[in-house]
Amino acid sequence: MKKLLAVILSVLIFCAVLPFSASAAEKAEGPANVILMIGDGMGWNHLELAKQERVKSLYMEDACDARGWSMTRSQNKVVTDSAAGGTALSSGVRTNNRYVAVYHYDPLGWFRVPRTLSEAALLSGRRSGVITTDTTDGATPASFTAHTTDRSNSADITRQQEKSDFDLIWGGAVAAFSASRAQKNGFSVVTTLDEMQALQPGSRSFGQFDYDMMWRTKVAEGSTAPTLSQMTEKAISLLDGDDGFFLMVEGAHIDKWSHTSNEPDNYDTKVANAAEAVEEFDKAIRVAAEFAKKDGNTLVVITADHETGGLKIIDGKYTYTSDSHTGVDVPVIVFGSKDFIGKDEQIENRQVAQRIGAYMGMGELFPKAVPGKLFWAYAGVRDWFLTLISR
């Protein structure tokens, strides 16, 4: 009798375990997740600067599965800005500096615009979001969520984001943002760390946080802003599900601090803050990479849109030689795939996006040119005419 009970018990336990292992196997075969992490302005020497000034080692270097180089030039300049650099990484095409996800030959997007990875992800049935320490209308998040002629078109970028179907758009607060317009389109609007943490899966959200505080490695006293690593962790928990997701994470302040003056009265602050921004970006990378390891079906790609500051070794120390962008090649660091990029392989920035599209099995969806404004104007007139004659 005892033996029979033991057998029945074993069968029951086996059956209870079975569905879990089956669903785990299904998950691994489902749509792949991709987390693309952009260290704005981050050259290889920024990692060295951070190690010289602030940390013993960096997770992104020590734990990664592969690493190579990205050549960052834009269509019209040897040195790209964040708009053209972001467009290469979002859309797989090179465009002119200042242009945001539009072709260099059609800057107003009249005829055609390139589809972004974030948009393609939505079309493939995935969830899709962007998070940044920059304001939400910054050139990098804008390159994934809007199409416009100039990166300074804040109202246009913000209006497109408010009207979009993205699951989350989080960053520093923007003057042109309208909470009521965003809410009308189904977004929950969050402005503090606590509000962000309270968001539930299935909700779509727009984050407008305290820009001056969110780049730091920990939440400063009195600050209500989340850090980049807190945003990354929460965003992943909201986006993760059976449908797969695409998330763009930008550490914007590596660039921002590297742009400040090299004059002696500012230099130490500049170095300390840039190193802290690299450290916080690395913490966010650890969050993403540890999720990827556990999940088994997530690719994490870390790169930069360009280098900022011309960091070089002078007298044995990593030192800024410029307060602007340079054209040097930047890192491509990968977790979750050993063959996304070959060892020390050098690829064009737009190939990063093209390879991500291929990894996600986008096929015809990406890269892709989609009809521009003239088509939508024509479609509007045609629909109006059809309604008129059908009366």
Interacting residues with Zn ion (CB under 5 A): 255
Q: How far apart are CA 277 and CA 364, in angstroms?
A: 37
Burial of 304: CB neighbours in 10 Å, binned 0-12, 13-18, 19+? buried
| 121 versus 311: smaller Cβ distance to Zn ion | 311
Nearest distance from C-beta of residue 139 to Zn ion, angstroms: 8
CB of 119 to Zn ion, least distance (A): 25
Give the shortest CB-274-to-Zn ion separation in angstroms: 12
Q: Is 215 helix (H, G, I), strand (E, B) or coil?
A: coil
Q: Which is nearer to Zn ion, 255 or 276 (CB)?
A: 255
Distance CA 285, CA 273 (A): 18
Which one, 260 or 297, has the nearer CB to Zn ion?
Answer: 260
Question: Per-residue b/e over 124-138, b at no fewer than 16 CB within 10 Å?
Answer: bebbbbbbbbbbbbb
User: Residue 31: helix, strand or coil by DSSP?
Assistant: coil
The whole-angstrom distance between residue 20's C-alpha and the CA centroid of its chain comes to: 31
Contact between 143 and 87 (Cβ < 8 Å): yes
Taking the least distance from each CB to Zn ion, the nearer of 255 and 282 is 255
Cα separation of 255 and 259, whole Å?
A: 6
CB of 123 to Zn ion, least distance (A): 31
The nearer residue to Zn ion, 80 or 319, going by C-beta atoms, is: 80
The distance of closest approach from Cβ of residue 259 to Zn ion in the complex, given in angstroms and rounded to an integer, is 6
3-state secondary structure of 163: helix
In the structure encoding, which two tokens stand for residue 117, read together? 């990875």
Q: Which is nearer to Zn ion, 72 or 319 (CB)?
A: 72
Based on CB atoms, which residue is closest to Zn ion, 67 or 256?
Answer: 256
Contact residues for 44 (Cβ-Cβ < 8 A; gap 6+): 330, 331
User: Could you tell me the smallest distance in angstroms from the CB atom of residue 363 to Zn ion?
Assistant: 34
Q: Are 168 and 209 in contact (CB under 8 A)?
A: no
* Backbone phi, psi, residue 68, to 5°: -150, -155
State the minimum distance, in angstroms, from the CB of residue 324 to Zn ion. 8
Q: Of 166, 103, 160, which Cα lies nearest the Cα of 131?
A: 166
Closer CB to Zn ion, 134 or 255, in the complex: 255
Cα(292)–Cα(359) distance, integer angstroms:
15
Q: How far is the CB of 82 from Zn ion (least distance, A)?
A: 6
Q: Which helix (H) or strand (E) holds 130?
A: strand 127-135
Q: What φ, ψ does residue 251 adopt, rounded to 5°?
A: -95, 95
| Shortest spacing between CB 255 and Zn ion, in angstroms | 4
Nearer to Zn ion, 238 or 277 (CB): 277
Which residue number places its CB atom closest to Zn ion? 255
